[in-house]
Structure 1
């Protein structure tokens, strides 16, 4: 039995925290400074965490490697099991030709690429995050943005930043559900408090996207689209998180957001006229749009007309049956997830779930309590990845593919995500070593020493956990209980601290190594993860202080009335 030490370096919490942070600092320096490929940097980070665990924290060698193995197993299932099946469905829409139909359908909503990007990356991406999460929205939306004519690096950046506001309730609200289970706080309270924080991000993110897409001109000309999409998503997310089934928070919010933007563009057009991505990149004049039959950025003439009138229906060449078939796989996903969320169905699927102690891992906290992470949960049937796999099998039929074509698409997906898979399992292996050896607890307690200012740091801890693991769910598993414990010692509301963890965590997802790898590989930029990191770092450094300030004010009488 291994009992975690909190301050193994000379009894000093500060020096111990510095040493515990070394694997993480090494990982990000390799990525951001030396531009090492994500899978290599992640393997080096994993090795560093093992060295610190064994040499500094005196974790037995066998337990250290068993901890890494558990993280690798979690990375394969459920993380990559979800991502692979989600991307498989996307690849089948490409192979069947229906991805072009889908792209033209989105493009037909508006002849301005900034509005198209908001609908795809923010609204449609939020729906994908609500259903699958784990990087799938980034990969799918980035490819769709490239198809609109955006450069690959910009497309991946926009997709990563857009994948922020829906994360707390992603994968059918798995992060907040996990947070509730880890902390013992009521799910309704956790969901409600989180729903009084992340909707503020939803209002801001579309404006950040406009800045990334077209700079000041985008903000000046297309701000109504950002305002409508942000407000409708944020308000609906708040209402669902506080008064509706939390599992449907992002699903309903994304659909309401998309519907309201569609209504807006029927009456409004950007002030400077419609623009395509190709015209923006070339510095050309507005008034150009994507041709129905041409490639991204092809020019066509305008017909004039009233506000919101497009000169040509870009989807007019597609039969209604083809449009319905293009959207059908995502409709199937929604229906299947709605079915498995029903209590009787969920209970039946969960009845075959197996939980067992991970072999070779026998760890106690400093207080002598066993860690829940040492128990592995194999929910092979009641799992989002399995639901997506079933949806994929149905999509083979819906899209008119043969079983052999579906199999080839699956093989292609595995090859495409090979590097991302190594990154994911390496980072999660490192996260488990950090957590089970005590390195995470050291860092957490060091931050908790801030006393009354801990409210400012609470979101930073969640951001840090998600940046490392790539999952707000994992961040809540790592730091949720620690946040509650620290809050109790500082006089802060435990519920507020727990919610601060998941709300800060949503801002760390855009720069996590595995999401950077997924975004880069999806648009053909494997090996350029460092360039992508520098792009998204600006956005997270803008939004994170705002979240820290919000949580701090909620811990004071100024906004304390917002805490249930």
Structure 2
């Protein structure tokens, strides 16, 4: 019976990893399988199956797809207005040492792109930039795969953790805090690992870079934790990335690195970017930060009235169903769109131009949109039918109280299969909390184990075929997928093992 409960997930493993079927087709068929199994073996009625599907569509469209479309639109608009060219110029003017540039662009700016847009931009853009300024393309892709691991849980304005909260019923701020704590050791190690890779694996590469690596790590982790624990997941990694970039630039000025072995060719013919041009280029992203901060729980005078503008609808009428709430204004997607249109206008784009960019963005995301709708609908059908609960009971029967050790591994499998931390949280979030309840975990530990799904998703992002394909495309080198996968696996395995130990022993402190 459990194999049939697992059938939609097993189908996704086979379809995506072995048959290499496009995600939107594989996930659409997984939805069909979940409905058939739910109705045939779990006594789910056709009406309830349809209602579960509709609730999945509602969750997918508002807020998940709204945020994704708005975030990618903001990035595409900055490309259209040439604002991104100015940002690139500002970043590459900081130092001529390739290790510093790899940290600044791969770790700092890559984290910023993950927090703002996600969905591959944090690998594609930094890797392309690094290769474009003369860094070995394979090295550029490799460091960006490492750098993109820990910010993944907070991608696209925190949508994986927001979604995990919606799926599990856990508080998103608690999940964001726990995820940050679980990832902390790896957040502190990432800049050191990237610097080692940048120097060909030699410890000599750390010479003169230790202070900068520590500053880059602490500059990321401290703001991320403060924002995650006070405001929630939306701006946590954005704050961390800004802190990391500031720390790296500060160190580059205070402790300049001048090692001829890692020096990049100088570009003295380029004019420096003026402050006005820099602010104009960064304006859409600055406005996103300001709008999300202003409407956060930190400013109740704005947050509370805006959150009253909402509608609640009971979509699923079966057992376990609850009204689904649409928050119409105080939702990140709406605020990101507003910031993008204002910023684009200041950068000289007309309203018609911006609508054209938005239309192209939606068109380019059409398969992603279908994938997310179907995978979330699949998870809803499996959850309401009782399939997820049966899988959880089987997992607990096999592992007992040691289940937390494999929670992060399960999350990583979800991202490996789908390429998305959001999809992993949808597929396995409910499984994690059901398993935690089955071993008698307290509510706090249930959230801790649910957060492990997002933590594991970060590890899975490194080895996801989708991430590797994006990295290969961005550096313009063909036939190196296997080489990059072999590289990423060396970091994925210890990552998952360490996460398993952190989750297992950490539950004692939370519970």
Asked if Structure 1 and Structure 2 have the same fold, meaning a TM-score greater than 0.5 normalized by the shorter chain, the answer is: yes
Structure 1 gaps, min length 5: 1-8, 10-15, 275-286, 292-311, 365-369
Q: In the aligned structure 1, how far is the partner of 2:61 from the partner of 2:464? A: 16
1:349-384 CA distance string (max 9 Å, x none): 2222112122xx3332xxxxx144xx4332232211
Cα offset for 1:202? 0.9
Structure 2 gaps, min length 5: none
Change (3 A) 1:126 1:41: same
Q: Give the corresponding residue for 2:301.
A: 344
Aligned partners of 2:142 and 2:487 also within 8 Å: yes
Change (3 A) 1:185 1:45: closer
Cα offset for 1:110? 2.4
1:202-249 CA distance string (max 9 Å, x none): 12333454566665259835863544322432344345556x555654
1:506 matched to 2:455: yes
Cα offset for 1:399? 0.8
Q: Give the corresponding residue for 1:321.
A: 276
Aligned partners of 2:199 and 2:205 also within 8 Å: no
- Match of 1:216, SS state, is coil
Q: In the aligned structure 2, how far is the partner of 1:533 from the partner of 1:362? A: 45
Moved more, 316-325 or 233-242: 233-242
Paired residues for 1:84-483 under 5 Å: 84-131=69-116, 137=122, 141=126, 144=129, 147-148=132-133, 159=144, 161-168=146-153, 192-210=177-195, 215-217=200-202, 220-221=205-206, 224=210, 225-238=212-225, 241=228, 244-246=230-232, 249-266=236-253, 267-269=255-257, 271=259, 273-274=261-262, 287-289=263-265, 291=267, 312=268, 316-341=271-296, 342-358=299-315, 361-364=316-319, 370-372=320-322, 375-449=323-397, 450-464=399-413, 483=432
Change (3 A) 1:152 1:495: farther
Q: In the aligned structure 2, how far is the partner of 1:393 from the partner of 1:46? A: 36
Q: In the aligned structure 2, how far is the partner of 1:161 from the partner of 1:327? A: 25
Aligned partners of 2:463 and 2:489 also within 8 Å: no
Q: In the aligned structure 1, how far is the partner of 2:300 from the partner of 2:130? A: 37
Which of 42, 55, 60 is the matching residue for 1:57? Answer: 42
- Match of 1:110, SS state, is coil
Q: In the aligned structure 1, how far is the partner of 2:485 from the partner of 2:375? A: 16
Which of 67, 72, 76 is the matching residue for 2:61? Answer: 76
Q: In the aligned structure 2, how far is the partner of 1:174 from the partner of 1:492? A: 26
Change (3 A) 1:454 1:119: same
CA RMSD of aligned residues (A): 4.1
Aligned partners of 2:433 and 2:450 also within 8 Å: no
Aligned partners of 1:131 and 1:337 also within 8 Å: no
Q: In the aligned structure 2, how far is the partner of 1:192 from the partner of 1:154? A: 32
Q: In the aligned structure 2, how far is the partner of 1:512 from the partner of 1:76? A: 28
Cα offset for 1:390? 0.2
Question: Which TM-score applies when normalising by structure 1?
Answer: 0.74
Q: In the aligned structure 1, how far is the partner of 2:410 from the partner of 2:137? A: 31
Moved more, 44-53 or 346-355: 44-53
Aligned partners of 1:423 and 1:513 also within 8 Å: no
Q: In the aligned structure 1, how far is the partner of 2:270 from the partner of 2:82? A: 14
Change (3 A) 1:434 1:405: same
Of Structure 1 and Structure 2, the greater helix share is in: 2
Would you say how many aligned residue pairs link Structure 1 and Structure 2? 500
Paired residues for 1:492-531 under 5 Å: 492=441, 494-508=443-457, 510=461, 516=467, 519=470, 523=474
1:24 matched to 2:9: yes
Which of 514, 532, 546 is the matching residue for 2:498? Answer: 546
Moved more, 152-161 or 375-384: 152-161
- Match of 1:377, SS state, is strand
Change (3 A) 1:58 1:188: closer
Question: Which TM-score applies when normalising by structure 2?
Answer: 0.81
- Match of 1:197, SS state, is helix
